[in-house]
A = this chain, B = another copy of it.
Amino acid sequence: MRENRRFDEIRFINIETDFVKHPEGSVLISLGDTKVLCNATIENKVPPFLKGEGSGWVTAEYSMLPRATESRNIREAAKGKLGGRTQEIQRLIGRSLRSVVDLEKLGERSIWIDCDVIQADGGTRTAAITGGFVAMIIALHKLVENNELKEIPVRHYLAAISVGVVDGKVVLDLESKEDFNADTDMNIAGTNHGEFVEIQGTGEKHPFSKKEFYEMLDLAAKGLADLTKAQSEVLSDIFPSTKGMSDNE
């Protein structure tokens, strides 16, 4: 039984901007006890496979500090290689963010989103997407201010949230201890218009039915609305929450 929170309620969210001074965009996002530092870098070149294509790129890197977790995890730099979980997560973050960016309008630039988990209590990858989006908008806004871009080349707000089945009940935004007991666990990224860009669901302990799946999807939609609202409170001066509406309707 979840304490102090309804099954369809996200944890307390805080988005602190300019946490670090050097990056073009810097955000420390807290979702309950999960804290992820998201730094955006603009680079005036693109990866080799895009050279001369007139298109930009968005990519993400994800890492956990050794003591973000309850017991110490060994640094991947010390091991000499990135683990499968890390690669899976950073590919997810990158794909999600790319899905709302107009890469041609971005031009031959790369955006790096570095997501470093300072403290982990479930939902680090979804917090990374939600915070990374804010850092990206702030960085792009600087390009607009410097007249390097005419407008922010982003079509929608984007956030991500987890949803799962715990003790037979569908719940939103799982903490670590819920995550551990979940029969089914799903991470969903979507826009402020109720559309989805990434769905990754796994029923490792129990297969799930279409009905359960529909319930989870609805709950996720609610969570995404709450998160994009929190984003727009931070960003509304530079990126209106009505942004992207016209693209779809």
Interface string of A176-194 (1 = CB under 8 A from B): 0000000000100011011
A2 at the interface (CB under 8 A from B): no
| Bound: A116/B84 CA distance, A | 18
Name the B residues within 8 Å of A88 (CB-CB). Answer: 84, 87-88, 91
Contact at B81–A66, with CB atoms within 8 Å?
no
Known: A20-B67, A26-B67. A207 touches B156 (CB 8 A): yes
Task: Identify 21 residue pairs between A and B in the complex whose beta-carbon atoms are under 8 Å apart, listed by A's number.
Answer: A20-B68, A22-B70, A72-B112, A81-B81, A84-B88, A87-B87, A88-B88, A95-B204, A99-B204, A100-B207, A186-B199, A194-B210, A195-B208, A195-B209, A197-B202, A197-B203, A197-B204, A197-B207, A199-B202, A199-B213, A200-B200
A65 at the interface (CB under 8 A from B): yes
Within 8 A of B (CB), among A97-155: 98-100, 112, 114, 116, 118-120
Within 8 A of B (CB), among A63-91: 63, 65-70, 72, 75-88, 90-91
A231 at the interface (CB under 8 A from B): no
Interface string of A193-225 (1 = CB under 8 A from B): 111111111111111111001100100010000
* Cβ-defined partner of A198 (8 Å) among B68, B87, B120, B201: B201
| Bound: A191/B41 CA distance, A | 40
| Bound: A126/B54 CA distance, A | 34
A-side interface residues, number (CB < 8 Å):
72
Name the B residues within 8 Å of A199 (CB-CB). Answer: 186, 199-202, 213
Within 8 A of B (CB), among A15-60: 20-23, 26, 33, 35, 37, 39, 41, 43
* Cβ-defined partner of A41 (8 Å) among B67, B85, B91, B208: B67
Contact at A191–B207, with CB atoms within 8 Å?
yes
Given pairs A20-B68, A98-B204, A200-B201, 10 additional interface contacts (CB within 8 A): A39-B66, A65-B114, A77-B86, A82-B84, A87-B87, A99-B207, A194-B210, A195-B207, A197-B204, A200-B200
A175 at the interface (CB under 8 A from B): no
Contact at B78–A82, with CB atoms within 8 Å?
yes
